[in-house]
Amino acid sequence: MYCGGVIHKGEKYQRSTNLYNGTVYDWVTHDKCEEIAELLDMYRRTWDDGLTADGFGEFVWDAICDFFPDSDEACDMSTEERVDWLLAHKDKL
Ligand SMILES: [Zn+2]
């Protein structure tokens, strides 16, 4: 749900059931998105509503701009592809 991508059959993911304003909803996220959220310290840097998909996308994009300013290849990627890309380069984060 963070990256907006599809969780494929057999792919690792996490599911949490939350109660918000009397409504129960499921939050499902890829393990890799969870990993990137922790790597980039998103939870500590997010206020109010918690981490949303929009916020997640911005953190991911900001990280690419901050750490890899010369990289053009990430421009046309979806958020999910950027997550994959960041994880492939996480030793530089
Ligand atoms: Zn994801």
Q: What's the 32 CA to ligand 1 centre distance in angstroms? A: 7
What is the sign of the dihedral through the CA atoms of 47, 53, 82 and 7? positive
Q: What is the pLDDT of residues 20-49, one digit of tens each?
A: 778 777 778 999 999 999 999 998 887 666
SS3 10: coil
DSSP code string of 16-49 = EEEEETTEEEEEEEEHHHHHHHHHTTTTTT--TT
Q: What is the pLDDT of residues 44-91, one digit of tens each?
A: 887 666 788 889 999 999 999 898 888 788 888 999 999 999 999 999
Tell me what pLDDT residue 26 has.
Answer: 77
Domain ranges of the chain: 13-92
Q: What's the 3 CA to ligand 1 centre distance in angstroms? A: 4
What is the sign of the dihedral through the CA atoms of 6, 10, 12 and 15? positive
- Residue 12: band (very low, low, confident or very high) from pLDDT cuts 50, 70, 90: confident
- 19 Rama sector, left if φ>0, alpha if ψ -120 to 50, beta otherwise: beta
Q: What's the 45 CA to ligand 1 centre distance in angstroms? A: 19
